[in-house]
Amino acid sequence: MEADHSSPLVTVIIVNYNAGDRLRRCLEHLAAQVFRNFDIIVVDNASDDDSLAVATASDIKFTLIEAGDNLGFAAANNLAAKSARGRWLAFLNPDAYAEPNWLTAFVAGQRRFPVVEAFGSTQIDDHDHDRLDGAGDVCSVYGIAYRGFFGWPRKKRPQDSGCFAACAAAAFYRRDVFEALGGFDERFFCYGEDVDLGFRLLLSGGETVQLHDAVVHHEGSGVTGRNSEFSVYHGHRNRIWLYYKNTPAVLYWLTVPIRGIGDLLLLGKALLSGTSGAYFNAIKDGYGNLAQFRDDRAILSVQKKSAYIAARMVWSPFALLRRQGKTIPIKERSQSEKSCTI
């Protein structure tokens, strides 16, 4: 891909940490995009495998930022966003492989919904192309966030619709909105920071649209491992943080008993999978470090959007167990309301 000295519409940001051959494959899929007005930034979090060397040896053009340490997913994306030139930021995991019309479909979606601040991609299971890996992130009153429609048949993917948040394995944010929101919360390090960002966008009056035709094939925790101790610890610690940090007070305290049930059910799952040690540490550090979000709670108390947020959460335990997504009608806003009130 030839370097473009004018400002591109989209800057694609990829955070690499020991991704192996996945990074090269991810870049090759970007090089095959039909839409060409984009550039690429790769942030390397001090990988010690050959992933970066293999990618650099290819003829695919990208800007490399060497972080010098493992900053985590949130901080590395924020670092790249500071030097991005695109009006839109596309966050893409190295184990997510974009179909040739991925960016074309995004541009078409952005034209259909010109006042929307964020878009999500349809994620297909890279190991089973007849299955969905996700179509819009969901937040439940059980304190559990998940990828909607995970494991569902591909033919069940939703048409364009609002969703709670865009999964950052393949998500688009207007750069000015991303900056105004403060980017990803670096305290999360890895996991849950995308739902946290989408939550804050909702609270600010913005919205996210899940795009039917913007398709990537996703391995899903291809680098960290879906049930590794790392994933279990950060996933459960961060779900506690994001719910406390963002949920309006009335809704937060109303759902305490429900979330207690959720914690117990997840403990059973951890015991069965042999990850109970990581789970207990996550619970301890999750609830034990809530004080760091006092300032966030203070901002939240001014926003007071309990009913608004409650209507966008999943309440049904059956929907949670089935990983059912929640589609939200796309509200109409005039051009004068284009920017969310941050």
Q: What is the pLDDT of residue 1?
A: 39
> Could you give the CA distance from residue 257 to residue 268 in angstroms, rounded to a whole number?
17
Q: List pLDDT tens digits, range 214-247.
A: 999 999 764 555 678 999 999 999 999 999 999 9
Give pLDDT tens digits for 85-102.
999 999 999 999 999 999
Q: Can you name the CATH fold of 10-218?
A: Spore Coat Polysaccharide Biosynthesis Protein SpsA; Chain A (3.90.550)
Given a contact cutoff of 8 angstroms between Cβ atoms, the answer to whether 267 and 276 are in contact is: yes
State how far the Cα of 232 lies from the Cα of 226, in Å rounded to an integer. 8
- For residue 229, the SS3 value is helix
Name the token pair of 170: 């393949």
User: Domain-by-domain residue ranges, the chain?
Assistant: 10-218
pLDDT band at 342 (very low <50, low <70, confident <90, very high): low
**Sequence-distant (≥ 6) Cβ neighbours of residue 214 within 8 angstroms:** 102, 103, 105, 106, 109, 119, 120, 121, 122, 170
- Supply the angle between the helices 229-246 and 276-288 in degrees, to the nearest 10: 30
User: Which carries the bigger pLDDT value, residue 341 or residue 275?
Assistant: 275
Structure confidence at residue 330 (pLDDT)? 84
Q: Using 50, 70 and 90 to split pLDDT, how confident is the model at 4?
A: very low
Q: How far, rounded to the nearest angstrom, does the alpha carbon of residue 246 sit from its chain's CA centroid?
A: 16
pLDDT exceeds cutoff 70 at 337: no
Mean pLDDT of 309-317: 96
Model pLDDT, residue 3: 41
Please state, in angstroms and rounded to a whole number, the distance separating the CA atoms of residues 195 and 167.
Answer: 7
pLDDT at 196 over 60: yes
Write down the pLDDT at residue 58.
Answer: 87
The DSSP string of 198-220 is: HHHHHHTT--EEEEEEEEEEE-S
- pLDDT for residue 332 is more than 70: no
Chain segment 264-286, per-residue pLDDT in tens: 999 999 999 999 999 999 999 99
Closest CA to 97 of 21, 148, 173, 153: 21
| Structure-token match 């919904």, residue found | 113
Q: How large is the greatest C-alpha to C-alpha distance in the chain, in angstroms?
A: 56
Does pTM surpass 0.85? yes
